Structure 1
Amino acid sequence: MTQMALVIDLNVCVGCHACVTSCKEWNTSGEAGSLADLQPYDADPEGTFFNRVQTYEAGEFPATDTIHFPKSCLHCEDPPCVPVCPTGASYKREGDGLVLVDYDKCIGCNYCAWACPYGARELDPKRKEMTKCTLCADRINNEALPERDRKPACVLACPTSARLFGDIHDPDSEVSQAIRERGGYQLMPEWGTRPANHYLPRRKTEAHGCSAQSCSCGSASQPQAESLEGQLESGQVNLASVAAHV
């Protein structure tokens, strides 16, 4: 069975939100729209988004690392949101494994949102319908578009190619090779939902361009951490060094 999914490279995501804005633009004008925007420029903006980027700081000042973590529906192979839907509005499409919502059947009960352990669904405050990432289902199969454009809007918009799209069940696909060769992992696999989307972990880096005699950052005098977690904890990893060696 085909299972289309995203593979997101955390090494090269710079948190520019191009994926967020392109997703919003395409889906507002496509089959999923329109998506609500309430007070978008006020102190308390509110709206509906399929894709969000969460940003974290690791380490201790001044040797800190900024980590950008994009998150959307993971199109689980065993989605808990589907069986709880009382109207059958949430379903998993057989042809490509996408988890979708039939808006004509959705009654906005929120059962699917409560069942999703990833918080990937948002109730549109104007339409009172549950919305979520569709992996641009109305785009990837659109034969009116050039073949190179039959990808999710977020994938095409990413300036650093941090987002890959393809069939994870095809061992020869780009996404399968990336998962296999670079240790791609699922988000919270302990829930047993078998998320289709994967993340590529941050690579270990080594200090370059400084010496114990001339460097004032102090990293040259510190022992190299054996794991990424150790590097983050000791503040040895920084965004510039990661980007420089991708």
Structure 2
Amino acid sequence: MTQMALVIDLNVCVGCHACVTSCKEWNTSGEAGSLADHRPYDADPSGTFFNRVQTFEAGEFPLADTIHFPKSCLHCEDPPCVPVCPTGASYKRKEDGLVLVDYDRCIGCKYCSWACPYGAREIDEERKEMTKCTLCADRIYNEALPERDRKPACVLACPTSARLFGDIHDPESVVSKAIRERGGYQLMPEWGTRPSNHYLPRQKVTSCGSGACSCKTSDGDEAASVETQAERGELHLASIATRV
């Protein structure tokens, strides 16, 4: 069975929030919108987002590190949010494994958000409906778009190509190869939800002497060039434009 998912490379995420803003823009103007914002320019703003980036410090000086951790719905293979929904509004789609919400059935009871161990669902306070990441289901199958653009908005917007998209059940897909070759892991697997989205663990990087270059990993492997990444389908046009 097909299971579409994201693989997020924590080595190259810079916390720019391009994924957050592009997600908000696309979904507000798409099938999910409009997503509420309250007091967006005040001291205490709040709003509905499908994707957020959490930033925190790890370690102690002089070995401290800043980690940017993007998080959205993980499209679990055994999603606990689905069976608790009293109206059947939350469901897992068979053809691609996406976990979605039928807004016409949602009554805003929040049972699904309480059941989700990842805090990935947000109630839209304006519409009183539960919202979440759809992996841009209204975009990835849109034949009116060029094939290269039939990816989630967050994937296309990422300037460092930290986000990969594909079928994790296809052993030859970009995401499956990344998980297999780089030790991709699931978030909180102990919950037994089998989240589809995976993360690529951070690697220790050594410099080339100048302090500005990091072309070798701790294993001594040469970092892939822009051209190599483009050939693999790991680099997107928007990213190339920012690198060359």
TM-score higher than 0.5 here? yes
Deviations 1:119-147 (A, max 9, x none): 00000000000000000000001111110
Cα distance in structure 2, aligned partners of 1:241 and 1:55: 23
- Closer/same/farther in 2, CA of residues 53 and 244 from structure 1, 3 Å limit: farther
Question: Once the 2 structures are TM-superposed, how far is the Cα of residue 244 of structure 1 from its aligned partner?
Answer: 7.4
Large movers: runs of 4+ above 4 Å:
240-246
- Structure 2, unmatched stretches of 5+, are 218-222, 224-244
1:56 matches 2:45: no
Cα distance in structure 2, aligned partners of 1:159 and 1:3: 25
Counterpart position of 2:237 = none
Counterpart position of 1:115 = 115
Counterpart position of 1:80 = 80
For residue 203 of structure 2, what is the amino acid of its counterpart? R
- Closer/same/farther in 2, CA of residues 2 and 207 from structure 1, 3 Å limit: same
Cα distance in structure 2, aligned partners of 1:75 and 1:185: 14
Calculate the aligned-residue CA RMSD, in Å. 1.7
- Closer/same/farther in 2, CA of residues 204 and 136 from structure 1, 3 Å limit: same
Residues 190-209 of structure 1: matches in 2 within 5 Å? 190-206=190-206, 209=209
Counterpart position of 1:19 = 19
For residue 131 of structure 1, what is the amino acid of its counterpart? T
Counterpart position of 1:144 = 144
For residue 161 of structure 2, what is the amino acid of its counterpart? S
With normalisation by structure 1, the TM-score equals: 0.85
For residue 70 of structure 1, what is the amino acid of its counterpart? P
For residue 32 of structure 2, what is the amino acid of its counterpart? A
| Larger gyration radius, structure 1 or structure 2 | 1
By relative contact order (CA 8 Å, sep 6+), the higher-ranking structure is: 1
For residue 109 of structure 1, what is the amino acid of its counterpart? C
- Closer/same/farther in 2, CA of residues 61 and 243 from structure 1, 3 Å limit: farther
Counterpart position of 1:94 = 94
- Structure 1, unmatched stretches of 5+, are 211-237
Paired residues in the alignment total: 218
SS of residue paired to 2:181:
helix
For residue 60 of structure 1, what is the amino acid of its counterpart? E
SS of residue paired to 2:74:
coil
Cα distance in structure 1, aligned partners of 2:206 and 2:215: 12
Q: Contact conserved, 1:73 with 1:121, CA < 8 A, in 2? A: yes
Q: Contact conserved, 2:167 with 2:176, CA < 8 A, in 1? A: yes
Counterpart position of 2:168 = 168
Provide the identity percentage.
Answer: 85
For residue 128 of structure 1, what is the amino acid of its counterpart? K
